[in-house]
Each structure stands twice: as structure tokens, then as C-alpha cells.
Amino acid sequence: MTEHTADVAVVGAGIAGLAVTLAAARAGRKVALFERNEPAVGASVRNFGLVWPIGQPAGLTHDLALRSREIWREVIPSLGLYHEESGSLALAYQPDEAAVLGEYLERLGTDPHGRRWLTASEVAKLSPAAITDGLLGGMHSPTEITVDPREAIRNLPRWLHDRFGVELRFGTHVHSVGAGRVETGTECWRVDRVFVCGGQDFESLFPEVLARSGLVRVKLQMLRTVPQPGGWRLGPALCGGLTLAHYESFRGCPSLGHLRQRLEVEHPFEVQNGIHLLVSQTRLGELTLGDSHQAAQTVDPFDREDVATAIVQGIDRFARFPSWTITERWHGIYAKSPGEPWFLHEPLPGVTILNGLGGGGMTLSFALAEKLAFQ
């Protein structure tokens, strides 16, 4: 066993671990980053790649989302990453959907971020995909950014190494963490602080703490189309009415109860399977379609075709694309901290577990790491 030293050790090179690594490195710490896979293949490469402030409730988490967005914008140019300041469009075909969006906008008042209601013809000008038959209008938000998570999560570690001298240990399982100590099969690291960002692995490190934490695993099914022909671009990321019932940001809108009741009657399968409908686009022009939500301590390994079909059919009700040919299907699993936007715990002095970012890891991690770890 060889001995090494650093100021900070980070376990897990998903977006949470990468965000902590970035924050620590920017604060001048010598960091060692450990990831059991090479490259990382957890929730962070399986998502829409959406930095999605619009989904975060007003207050701390929304502010963090906007700060994360700034950090993405700071690192993207030197990383040479694809990103699109796509914004988002939430489409309303039913009066209760329009009411929820109207109430949300009313609560914002004069929004410094430019979120506003668009008529159906204004939506048509902004989005080549949105179906305008029966469309009452939509809420446009300019704050959302799309990255390609496969590219971002793969390239960030190398950039952290080149730019800040972060020590990378990929293909390296951490099997033991103590106060000021991290052990792999072949190395022992002495450090001042350890951050454990292990995502949905609740068994390897501090299993008793994680068992008591209330964290749950959530499985999400996703699909990807071929690159759209002729360079066709989606424009703003699109979502429909089911999404309004999904994101915390719309809680408190008086019409949400009515919307939920209607969805339960009209779309029981979607409600039962936690389906909400969202579309983003990659650099190559592929469309990422999703998703469903199934919470379970042991996740069903088998992806369901009826769930995939419901996602495709649901999106087909509000969006038209040149090609619907599906090339990839997969599922991702994230850890969620029910009722909280993340889980943060210090099981030992100098050891911090950061986990449970649920559906907001790409949106919140950079700012959260900056705020919690090194201010």
C-alpha cells in the first residue's frame, strides 16, 4: 500500500463529486478525485443535460441554480464543451395548465430573468417543434442551459487535472474512509477533508448512515432519437402539463390541485409511473426524451416498454420532430432525499457526505459545492 497526501479527497466523479473538486481546486486546495469506473457512468451521464433553474422553488435553491448556471458558463469556454443557452418552454393545452403557469408568473411579478407568457403564435415563432393545434400558450424561460452530459462528465476530470493539478484515480474503488484517511486497494491517502459523493451506492461507504438517512433510489427511463436530419434544431427545451405537477417550483400555485386531479383521471398510467415529459437536444442533434420515476430500494433491472411507449406518445401530443427513430434506451438511478433538495451529513470529523440531489444534480451541484464546502 503506497502513502499519499492531499488537502481534500473526493469519492465519486459524478456531477456532485466534480463540483466539490472544482470548488476545492478553485479555493487553492490540492485535491484527489476517486472514481470506481472509467469513465463515470452514474446518473450524471444519463440525464437530459439540463441546467434547469425553472424547476427549483423560489429562494435558496433557485438562487443556487442560477449561480450554478454562472459556474457552468465560466468553465464551459475553457473546457470547450458544447452548450446551448436553449431556455425552456412549458406548453399549456388545458385551462388548468395555463392557470398554473399564469399563477407562477404572477408570483414572480416583474421577473429579472425574463420569464413570460407567450401566446400560441409567439410559441410557434420560438419553437419549430411545439404543436400549436389546441395550444393555449406557453411559458418561456430563458434561464435554462443544455449541455451534453456524456461529454461534460467525461471531460471535466481531465480539465480539472490539467488546470488545477487534481490527482485523478479512475477505475479505483474506495473501500474505506476514515477521519483524514481514504483507502483504495493499493493506496492510502492522508487528507484534511473527505467528501463522499457516491450517488445511488448506499452500501459501500457509511452504509449505516445512509440506511438511516431516508435517501431513496429512483429509477428513470429515458430514450434518445437519431440526430435530427438537415441540422434541425429544437430551440427551447420543451415540457408539457405533467411536468408542472412534477417540479417543486409550481407548488403553491392554487390551480395545481385541480391539474393533479385531472391528470389522475385522464392519465392514470403516467401518474402511477411518475412520467413527466421533457425534451432536450444534444450537439449532434439527437433528442433526449424522458422520463419516468420509480422509487425503490432495490431498483427493477428491467426497463418497461409500456413506460417507454407512454413517454413517446405523451411527447407526441405536444411536439413534432422530423425523425422519431429511437437509437438508445436506458435508465438512470439517482438518490433522492425526500422533502429536501440534497442530503448533507458529517459522519466523522472532516468527512462530509453530499448526496440526494434527486433530479437537480446538474442544476444545483456547482453552486452547492461552492457554498457548502469552501466559503
Question: How many other β-carbons are positioned within 10 Å of the β-carbon of residue 207?
Answer: 11
> Positive or negative, the Cα torsion across 221, 307, 216, 201?
negative
Alpha carbon 11 to its chain centroid, in Å, reads 19
Considering beta carbons, is residue 13 or 307 the nearer one to ligand FAD?
13
Taking the complex as a whole, how short is the minimal distance between the CB of residue 15 and ligand FAD, in angstroms? 5
Phi and psi, residue 242, nearest 5°: -60, -30
Q: What grid cell was written down for 248?
A: 417543486
Q: What grid cell was written down for 15?
A: 456531477
Only one of the segments 35-43, 98-106, 268-276, 367-375 lies at the binding site for ligand FAD (rule: CB under 6 A); that segment is 35-43
Query: DSSP per residue over 224-256, as a string?
Result: EEPPPGGG----SEEE-HHHHTTSGGGTT-TTH
SS3 call for 357? strand
Only one of the segments 112-120, 227-235, 246-254, 359-367 lies at the binding site for ligand FAD (rule: CB under 6 A); that segment is 359-367
Which residues contact residue 257 at a Cβ distance below 8 angstroms, ignoring those fewer than 6 apart? none
Only one of the segments 8-16, 158-166, 303-311, 367-375 lies at the binding site for ligand FAD (rule: CB under 6 A); that segment is 8-16
Q: Which of residues 142-171 bind ligand FAD (CB under 6 A)?
A: none
Closest CA relative to residue 267, chosen from 232, 329, 310: 310
Only one of the segments 47-55, 97-105, 131-139, 249-257 lies at the binding site for ligand FAD (rule: CB under 6 A); that segment is 47-55
SS3 call for 258? helix
* 6, 16, 210, 215: residue in contact with ligand FAD (rule CB under 6 A): 16
Q: Which of residues 199-218 bind ligand FAD (CB under 6 A)?
A: 199-201, 204-205
Q: Which of residues 51-110 bind ligand FAD (CB under 6 A)?
A: 52
Q: To the nearest 5 percent, what fractions of the chain are helix, strand and coil?
A: 35, 25, 35
Total residues contacting ligand FAD by CB under 6 A comes to 44
Site string for ligand FAD, 276-315 (x = CB under 6 A): --------------xx------------------------
Only one of the segments 2-10, 209-217, 227-235, 351-359 lies at the binding site for ligand FAD (rule: CB under 6 A); that segment is 351-359
Taking the complex as a whole, how short is the minimal distance between the CB of residue 357 and ligand FAD, in angstroms? 4
- In angstroms, rounded to a whole number, what is the distance separating the alpha carbons of residues 6 and 26? 15
* 213, 355, 366, 368: residue in contact with ligand FAD (rule CB under 6 A): 355
* 236, 240, 341, 359: residue in contact with ligand FAD (rule CB under 6 A): 359
